[in-house]
Amino acid sequence: MNLLSKTTLAALAISAAAALPFLPGVSAQNATPVPAGPPRTPVTVGSQGPPPEHAKFTATQIDAGGSLFIQNCAFCHGKDAGGGESGPDLTRSKVVSGDKNGEGIGAVIRNGRQEKGMPRFSLPDAQIMELVAFVHSQQDKAMSQTGVRKGVEDSDLLTGNVAAGKKYFETTGNCVSCHSATGDLAHVAKKFTGLRLEQEMLSPRDAKTKVTVKTRTGVTLTGIETYKDEFVIGMTDTFGVYHSWPVTAVTFKEESPVDAHVALFSKYTDEDVHNLYAYINTLK
């Protein structure tokens, strides 16, 4: 019970933080109160900081997990979990660093990350724990290494010019049409750092599409678009209730903050990206 409530609080804290991307007009400070919980150990990744703490796993578990990892995970995440074709480096993953005994890693394996192309895996609990054991062992190994390491250090990204980035933010990129350095983006470089900050800057991961749906009977509902394909639109309204309709049965209007980010992809030079990052990184 104790473990469960702690885990739930941790998960809430993570999801609350993750739910605050660069949304236009939403101030990071007053959007969602972060539930008060026990102070959490700061989570570290890469070769920085002390190694994360987690449950002890047996050599048998780690070995069995290694076999399962090769079969199911290694193509995307690399044989050593250090990243591969399309899948991130798990040895630098905050989910892995924050996981104690499978509560975080296991959830990702069971549920997948459909939006990022990771399928869910229906494996028995014991096998999931073996995978958890293996991933932890790989992170421990990677973090104890000081030599050759794949991956991106925060310092790698700082080659741009802050003033040029500020200018891009205010003029060329017209970021100010949705964002404010003292409003929604104040302290953004504290919330996200390094590569994650750059990824959020270029393509905010959790920026939800808002949708207003008008039904044939004249009812108007506003909420977050939670499903959309060619034939069906689904949304979660302000009361948290899910609705779906054939797209032909309703009229709807979408507001997608990601679109403006996507539109910039074809316009950026690499210099723009580095300058803009240098500037955003000052918003601590």
Partner 1 sequence: MTLMKAGFSMTFLHSVRAFALAAVAVTSVSATAQGVTDAILKNPPRDSWPGFHGDYSGQRHSPLTEISPANVSQMTLAWTFQTGLGGGGNTMKSTPILVDGVLYFTMPDHVWAVDARTGHTIWHYAAPPNKAFHIGQRGVSMLKDKLYYMTSDAHVEALDAKTGKVLWDVMVADSNKGQWSTMSPLIVGNHVMVGASGDFDNLQGFLRSLDPETGKTQWQWDATPPVGTPKMTSGGNIWMTGTYDPEQNLMFWGTGNPTPVLNGTVRPGDNLYTCSIVALDPETGKLKWAFQPSPHDTHDWDAVEIPVLADVTVEGKPRKVLMQASRNGHFFVIDRVTGKSILTTTFGPVNWTLGIDKEGRPIPNPAKEPAQDGRLIAPDEGGLTNYRSPSFDPKTGLFIVSASPSYSLYFAKPADGTYGWAGADYSLWSKGELIAIDYRTGKPRWTHPLGRRAGSGVMTTASGLTFSGDASGNFLALDTATGKTLWHAGTGGNIASTPITYELDGHQVVLLSSGSILYAFTLPEHHAAAVKTAKK
Which chain residues interact with partner 1 by CB under 8 A? 67, 70-72, 74-75, 78-79, 82-86, 88-89, 112, 115, 117, 119-123, 148-152, 156-160, 195, 198-199, 202-203, 228-232, 258, 261-262, 265-266, 268, 270, 273-274
**What's the min distance (Å) between Cβ of 182 and partner 1?**
26
**What's the min distance (Å) between Cβ of 96 and partner 1?**
16
**What's the min distance (Å) between Cβ of 25 and partner 1?**
22
Q: Is 246 exposed, middle or buried (0-12, 13-18, 19+ CB in 10 A)?
A: exposed
β-pair type (232-237, 210-214)? unpaired
Nearer Cβ to partner 1 (100/196) = 196
The CA distance from 77 to 46, in Å, is 16
Give residues with Cβ within 8 angstroms of 213, minimum separation 6. 220, 221, 222, 233, 235, 243, 245, 250, 251, 252
Bridge partners (DSSP) of residue 252 are 213
Residue that is written with structure tokens 């991956």 in the block: 151
**What's the min distance (Å) between Cβ of 167 and partner 1?**
19
**What's the min distance (Å) between Cβ of 75 and partner 1?**
4
Nearer Cβ to partner 1 (160/223) = 160
**What's the min distance (Å) between Cβ of 68 and partner 1?**
9
Nearer Cβ to partner 1 (237/272) = 272
Bridge partners (DSSP) of residue 234 are 227, 244
Nearer Cβ to partner 1 (9/107) = 107
Q: Is 121 exposed, middle or buried (0-12, 13-18, 19+ CB in 10 A)?
A: middle
Q: Residue 90: helix, strand or coil by DSSP?
A: helix
Nearer Cβ to partner 1 (17/152) = 152
Nearer Cβ to partner 1 (245/268) = 268
Q: Is 78 exposed, middle or buried (0-12, 13-18, 19+ CB in 10 A)?
A: buried
**What's the min distance (Å) between Cβ of 272 and partner 1?**
9
Q: Strand order in 242-246's β-sheet?
A: 242-246, 232-237, 220-228, 210-214, 251-255
Query: CB–CB of 2/101 below 8 Å?
Result: no
Q: Residue 161: helix, strand or coil by DSSP?
A: coil
Nearer Cβ to partner 1 (110/187) = 110
The CA distance from 179 to 256, in Å, is 14
**What's the min distance (Å) between Cβ of 150 and partner 1?**
5
Nearer Cβ to partner 1 (40/150) = 150
